[in-house]
Every structure is written in C-alpha cells, then in structure tokens.
A = this chain, B = another copy of it.
C-alpha cells in the first residue's frame, strides 16, 4: 500500500520533539521526570526513556538521577534546531549519502552509471529543505505552540483550510 503515507517523520522524532518542547516550556529550575513528560505529552514511557538517552548522547539534554532527578535541556532552546533533532534520532536527513553535509559518503553504486545525474537535483532539493530545518529552533516551536494555545481553538483551527479531510486526493 504505497499511498497510506505516515510521511517521513518517524514517530520517534515526533516524540523527541514533544519531549524537548516540554523541557523548553518548564522553568528549567527543576528537572522533569521521564514519567511526567510521558504522561503530559502522551508518549509511551519506556520508549521515551530510550529517546531521551539518545538526545542525551547527542548533547541536547542532560539528566540527573535519584530523587529530584530528571531531564533538562543541555543548551538554550534557541540553539536546538529541528535538523539537530532529526539527525540525532533518525540519522542523516540527506536523500542520498553523497549529498549529505554531515554524513557524506560515496554512493555505493554511483560509479559509471546514471545515479550521478540525480545527485545535483537531490542536492538542491536537500539544501532547500535543510535551510528551513536548520533555521527552525525548539524555541520557535515553543512560541508557535503558545500562540496557538492562547488564541485557543488549538491545533485544529490551523489545519490547512483548502485541504479536504475525507479520503485521499490523488490530483
């Protein structure tokens, strides 16, 4: 079933972003417990444990153990971009390894055949994509979220108005 389309952002990345938003919105004085983040953001607890460990390994969050322990952001929310999170959780963002900024490697089968012709196009597309992803920070998302909340109506009010909800549109 080709078109069922969960899209390309993994569940894991969505959970990671939600967790980071939760941390960014907390006062930062007290660490947030895994259990509380999981509870408030609807994330499976054990899964979140693993995700936070990855984020910690990537230097995005820090943790404390024992009573009063928990997680905090390891740097200002302004310095964590969407691209940072995606790369840490799902690996390279580039569509082809030979076009990757951070994880460059030669395409295994690129020599002597037609793949090379694709490279340039994918490189441009990737660059355009990345510009947005690098420019968007957790802080910015946080602001957007609060905006939406106080203007109430929450998420649904912002759904693209020209998109039909029923079924798929193949045009």
Contacts and interface: CB of A to CB of B under 8 A. Distances in A.
Interface of A: 2-9, 14, 17-18, 21-22, 41-42, 54, 82, 88-100, 102-106, 109-126, 128-129, 131-133, 136, 140-142, 144-145, 148, 154-156, 158-160, 163-165, 168-171
A160 B110 CA distance: 13
A3 to B, nearest CB: 5
Interface centre among A91, A105, A168, by most chain B C-beta atoms within 10 angstroms, is A105
Contacts of A22: 114
A9 to B, nearest CB: 5
A131 B128 CA distance: 9
A141 B118 contact: yes
Contacts of A168: 103-105
A2 B91 contact: yes
Contacts of A164: 104
Contacts of A54: 2
Contacts of A92: 3, 5, 7
A97 B128 CA distance: 20
Nearest to A128: B128
Contact of A112 (B129, B142, B154): B154
A155 B111 contact: yes
Contacts of A100: 5, 7
Nearest to A137: B121
A136 B116 contact: no
15 contacts: A2-B90, A3-B91, A4-B91, A5-B100, A6-B97, A7-B96, A9-B122, A17-B114, A21-B117, A82-B125, A104-B165, A119-B158, A125-B132, A125-B133, A128-B128
